Structure 1
Amino acid sequence: MNKIIILLCMVINIFATDLVDLYRLKGLNAVEEKLENSLRDKEYWDSYLKNKDVELGYYETKKYIILTHKEESELELYKIDNNRLNLITRNSVIVGEKEGDKYLEGDKRTPEGVYDLISKKTKLDQFYGPFALVTSYPNTFDKSLNKKGYGIWIHGMPLENVEREKYTKGCIALDNHELEKLDKNIDLKNAILLTSDREFKKAKREEISLVLSSIYKWKDSWKKSDIKRYLKYYSPEFKKDDGSDFKIFSEYKHRVFSKKERKKIKFSNINITPYPNSLNKRMFKIIMDERYVSPSVNFKGKKELFLEIVNNEIKILAEG
C-alpha cells in the first residue's frame, strides 16, 4: 500500500495524465517501469542536476567532505547544505615523507583515493596529539590492487613541547586545536576524506549524470539477467578485493544469470565521489544502499562501486 501511495504521489506531481492513464490501463508495474526508464535517461539527470553543485561529487546522505591536497600540504573541510558546497575551514597539514601513492606497508606515503572515517581513537601515545580519526584505508579498490599497509589516520601534533615534525609516516597531521575544530564540525558517519596528490580534478555535471543514468542501466541488465549487456559495464581490468579477475567474475555471473531468477533490486541513498588516483584514470566511487530479493538471495546492505569513464561509458574496476 505504501508503495502505491508513493507512486501515485509521483504521478500527481510529474506527468499526471499520462501516468494515470498508464496505471489505469496497464497497472502499477507499467507505471514503475516508465519511472525507471526516466532514471536510465541521462537527460533526466542533466535536468535534475542543473542547479546543484557537484564539483566534489553528488551526495544524498553524506554531509561533510574533507579534501586533502598532498602537494600543497593543505586540508579543506566542506559542508553540503541545500546542494551547495560551503568551505568551513582550510588548514596546513603534514603528510607522508615520500611523494606518490601508497602501495607498500612502511613506504611513508599518504594514500590517494576516497575514504570513510570509521572511528575516533583516544588515549594514544602523546606523539599523535589528543586523538586520531581512523580512515578506511585500504578500501575495496586498494585491496583489488594489492595495496598494503594500515593505520592511516588524521591525527594531531605531539602534546609535549617538541619541534613540529616535517613529515608523517603516511598519516595526515594538523595542529591540535585545528584537529579539535575539525572533529566538532563533522559527523564521522556522514563525512568522507579525499586525498589528492596534485591538482584535484573537479567533477562535471555531465559526468555525474552519465554515472547516475548508467548505474540504473546496469541495474536493469542485472535485474533482467542480460549477461551480455551486464558485463559491458565492467572493465577488462576488473578485480575483486580478493584478487580474482574479470574472467573468474564473468564465469561466475554466467552461472548465476543462467538460472533466470526473478529478482527485485532497489538502490537508494546514492553518493558519488570523484576518485583521485595515481593511475591517470577518470574515476568515481559510488556507495549506496542496496535491496536485493530473489528466490535464492535476500540482501539488504551497502553496494560499493569503483569505476572509470572511458569514451563516455562507465567501466567498473572493483565492487564490494
Structure 2
Amino acid sequence: MKIIFVLLVTLSLYSNDILTNYRINGINDIAKQMDLELTKKEYWDKYIKDKDTTFGYLESYPNILTCNKENSTLNLYTKDTNSTYEFKKEYSAYTGKIKGDKIKEGDLKTPIGIYQITKKLSRENKLDSFYGPLAFVTSYPNTYDKYRGKNGHGIWIHGLPTEQERDEFTKGCIAINNSNIECLDKRIDIDGTLLIINSNEVHKGVSKETLASILSQLYAWRYSWLFDDIKGYLNFYSNDFIRFDGMNFYGFKKYKTRVFKKVEKKTIIFNNINVLPYPNSENVYQITFKEFYKSDTFEFTGDKTLVIKLDETNSMKILTEK
C-alpha cells in the first residue's frame, strides 16, 4: 500500500485527473488505469529504448550460449556492467552426425531451438567417462518442440571421452573439449544461462519495434484475463492452439469460458519476462516469465511459457502455452 501511495503522489505531479479519480473512485479504479497503460506500445517503446536487444528482450539471463551448427561453434555472451551482452569466448564444437533439425529419437540430429540448462552432471554424479569431466543437461524437448510433435531426450553440452575413442560428431548433443567444458563451467551459472541453437548464425539485433509490440500485446492479453473479457482474451489465441497437455483451442475455449463466468477478483503479476525470436521459424517468438496468479478459488506461482506467432497484421497469436 505504501508503494502505491508513493506512485500516486508521483503521478499526481503529472496528472491531476489521476488524483481526482482516486479521490472519487478509490484505488481499484486507478489500478485498472495503470493496468491499461501497460497495454500501450508507447510505454514499452520508451521502456526498452536503451535496453540491449541483441538476442531479444531478456530479464532473466545474464549468459547466452549460441550454437552455430554449420560452423560447429559454441559462443558465450555475458552481460557486462552496462547490461550489454559482450562476446566472451568461442568454443569449437561437435554436433549431430546428420544435418537438419532434430525430429525424433535416434535421428542423430542436434535440435534447433531455445533451451534452458536444467542440470549439471559430473563424475560425482557417476557421469560416464565418454562425456568427459562434466555435462550440462538441456530442456529438449521444450514446449514448442512438443507442440510440433518432436521427441527424444538427453541433449547435453558435454566434454570428450577420457578413456575411449570417439567420432567427430555426436548423436545429437553438443560436445566441446574437456578444458573448454571446465572453462565454461567456471564462467556460467546454469540457472542464468540460455542456449540458442541454430543451423547457422543465431540472429542478433532484434527489432525494438517488434519487441515493444509483443510486450504491449502480452499485457493486453493479461488485461483481458484480469478483467474477464473472454472475447478479447481468446482473440489472442490461434485456431491451431494446443496446450501443453494436448487440449486444443475449442476445448480450451469452453474451459476458459466457464472459468471467466465466475467473475472473480484476480491478481496477475508477471516478472522475469523474456521474449526471443525462435530460430528457423518466421515470426515465431518464445515468451517466458514468472507468473503470480491469485483469485478467490485458485492460486499459482511458477514459470509460464507462451509460443506466439505474429500474423500479417503483427497481431500476437498464441500457438501453445505451458
Partner in structure 2 of residue 84 of structure 1: 84
**How far has the Cα of 1:226 moved from its partner?**
1.5
Partner in structure 1 of residue 116 of structure 2: 116
SS of equivalent to 1:242:
coil
- What number of residue pairs does the alignment pair up? 316
* 1:11 alignment partner AA: L
Q: Note the 1:64-213 alignment, pairs <5 A.
A: 64-81=63-80, 82-123=82-123, 124-160=127-163, 162=165, 165-202=167-204, 203-213=206-216
Contact residue 98 and residue 108 of structure 1 kept, 8 A: yes
- Give the structure-2-normalised TM-score: 0.91
* 1:290 alignment partner AA: E
Partner in structure 1 of residue 26 of structure 2: 27
CA distance in 1, matches of 2:6, 2:95: 49
Structure 1 spans left out of the alignment, 5+ residues: none
Cα 1:15/1:166, change in 2 over 3 Å: farther
* 1:27 alignment partner AA: G
SS of equivalent to 2:151:
coil
Partner in structure 2 of residue 314 of structure 1: 316
Partner in structure 2 of residue 59 of structure 1: 58
SS of equivalent to 2:149:
coil
Partner in structure 1 of residue 288 of structure 2: 287
Cα 1:181/1:275, change in 2 over 3 Å: same
SS of equivalent to 1:157:
coil
* 1:298 alignment partner AA: E
Partner in structure 1 of residue 7 of structure 2: 7
Contact residue 74 and residue 91 of structure 1 kept, 8 A: yes
* 1:262 alignment partner AA: K
Cα 1:182/1:6, change in 2 over 3 Å: farther
**How far has the Cα of 1:30 moved from its partner?**
2.9
**How far has the Cα of 1:221 moved from its partner?**
0.8
Contact residue 143 and residue 242 of structure 1 kept, 8 A: no
**How far has the Cα of 1:112 moved from its partner?**
1.1
CA distance in 2, matches of 1:244, 1:154: 33
SS of equivalent to 2:86:
strand
Structure 2 spans left out of the alignment, 5+ residues: none
CA distance in 2, matches of 1:107, 1:161: 23
Contact residue 146 and residue 243 of structure 1 kept, 8 A: no
Cα 1:120/1:250, change in 2 over 3 Å: same
SS of equivalent to 1:235:
coil
**How far has the Cα of 1:18 moved from its partner?**
5.0
SS of equivalent to 1:178:
helix
Cα 1:152/1:249, change in 2 over 3 Å: same
Partner in structure 2 of residue 296 of structure 1: 297
CA distance in 2, matches of 1:159, 1:10: 62
CA distance in 1, matches of 2:14, 2:63: 35
**How far has the Cα of 1:218 moved from its partner?**
0.2
* 1:49 alignment partner AA: I
* Pairwise CA RMSD: 2.0
CA distance in 2, matches of 1:62, 1:15: 35
Cα 1:138/1:130, change in 2 over 3 Å: same
Match of 1:247 among 250, 275, 295: 250
**How far has the Cα of 1:113 moved from its partner?**
1.0
* 1:177 alignment partner AA: S
Contact residue 144 and residue 242 of structure 1 kept, 8 A: no
Q: Note the 1:270-281 alignment, pairs <5 A.
A: 270-277=273-280, 280-281=281-282
**How far has the Cα of 1:195 moved from its partner?**
0.7
Contact residue 78 and residue 87 of structure 1 kept, 8 A: yes
**How far has the Cα of 1:134 moved from its partner?**
0.4
**How far has the Cα of 1:235 moved from its partner?**
1.4
Q: Deviations over 1:220-248 (max 9, x none)?
A: 11112212111111112211223332222
* 2:299 alignment partner AA: N
CA distance in 2, matches of 1:103, 1:9: 55
Moved more, 102-111 or 249-258: 249-258
